[in-house]
Homo-oligomer: A and B are copies of this chain.
Amino acid sequence: MLLDPDTSSCPDDRTGVSERGASQGVYAAGKETRRDILEVASSLFRERGLAGVTKPDIAKAAGVFPSQLGYYFGTKEALFVEAACRDVLHLAADVERAAAGTRTPRTYVRALVRTALSSPSLLFFAEAVLLVRTRPELAAGVRGAFGRLYDEGERAVAENLIRRGWHIRASAAAEARGFWAAVLGVCLEQAAFGASFSPASTEATVDLVLNLYESPAPPD
Instruction: Give chain B residues whose Cβ lies under 8 Å from the Cβ of A171.
Output: 207
* Tally of A interface residues using CB under 8 Å: 48
A40 at the interface (CB under 8 A from B): no
Interface presence of A203 (CB below 8 A): yes
Q: Cβ of A139 and Cβ of B192 under 8 Å apart?
A: yes
Contact in complex: B192, A143 (CB < 8 Å)? yes
Beta-carbon contact of A181 and B204 below 8 Å: yes
Whole-angstrom distance from the CB of A20 to the nearest CB of chain B?
39
**Alpha-carbon distance A148/B34, docked complex (angstroms):** 45
Q: Nearest CB to that of A168 among chain B residues?
A: B211
On whether the beta carbons of A193 and B146 are closer than 8 Å, the reply is yes
In the complex the two chains form, is B146's CB within 8 Å of A192's CB?
A: yes
Given A126-B188, A143-B196, A177-B200; 19 other pairs, CB 8 A cutoff: A51-B134, A126-B126, A132-B192, A139-B193, A142-B192, A143-B192, A143-B193, A146-B192, A173-B204, A175-B208, A177-B204, A177-B205, A178-B208, A181-B186, A182-B182, A184-B184, A208-B208, A208-B212, A211-B211
